[in-house]
């Protein structure tokens, strides 16, 4: 059986706060524990923290972490992912990120907002941590009238675990 992929989106190091890193590490670890792979945009901040957490999980295996990098090559890159896809797309790689099977947003600026908006338009399930950034602003809301569901508000590890297990049951 193929492992589902949780895409974790959020700020790079310039906007990443300690609370974002903590949430991302917890989410990465929990996702692997529940049988997911973890995919991010391959930058520092939330993205790196998600990989740190994922690799801390007891059942982590090589290949469980995937980065869709905006960069053209690995030159000077120290991405922690097992698999790195260098797209050369810059911010346009956000469109690729929006195609994840299930999305978790943490904090974030306009890049995170663009990923959430594109994922919404692709009818991907989206979860967002309460708090600051665009994730906190849209948690619990509908992004527009195209869909009847809402961005699922996540407040804790328990909330996230419940939503990921629900996704697995439906998959």
User: Using one digit for the tens of pLDDT, what is the confidence trace for 65-94?
Assistant: 999 999 998 887 889 999 999 999 999 999
Amino acid 12: pLDDT = 94
Query: What is the distance between the alpha carbons of residues 34 and 81, in angstroms, rounded to a whole number?
Result: 19
Amino acid 112: pLDDT = 97
**Residue numbers of the domain that contains 11:** 5-170
In CATH, what number is assigned to the domain containing residue 128? 3.40.50.450
Q: How many domains does the chain have?
A: 1
Amino acid 74: pLDDT = 86
Structure tokens at 157: 């590890």
Amino acid 37: pLDDT = 98
Give the percent of the chain with pLDDT over 90: 92
Amino acid 75: pLDDT = 81
To the question of pTM greater than 0.85 for the whole model, the response is yes
Amino acid 78: pLDDT = 86
Please count the CA atoms within 13 angstroms of the CA of 8 that sit on its side-chain side: 40
């Amino acid at each position: 059986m193929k492992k589902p992929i949780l895409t974790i989106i959020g700020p790079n190091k310039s906007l990443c706060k300690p609370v974002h890193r903590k949430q991302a590490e917890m989410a990465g670890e929990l996702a692997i524990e529940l049988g997911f792979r973890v995919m991010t945009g391959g930058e520092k901040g939330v993205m790196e923290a998600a990989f740190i957490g994922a690799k801390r999980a007891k059942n982590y295996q090589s290949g469980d972490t995937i980065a869709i990098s905006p960069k053209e090559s690995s030159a000077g890159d120290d991405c922690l992912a097992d698999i790195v896809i260098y797209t050369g797309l810059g911010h346009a790689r956000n469109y690729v990120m929006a195609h994840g099977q299930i999305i978790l947003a943490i904090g974030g600026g306009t890049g995170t907002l663009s990923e959430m908006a594109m994922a919404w338009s692709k009818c991907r399930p989206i979860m967002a941590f309460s708090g600051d950034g665009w994730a906190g602003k849209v948690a619990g809301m509908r992004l527009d009238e195209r869909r009847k569901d809402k961005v699922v508000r996540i407040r804790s590890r328990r909330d996230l675990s419940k939503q990921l297990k629900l996704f697995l049951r439906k998959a």
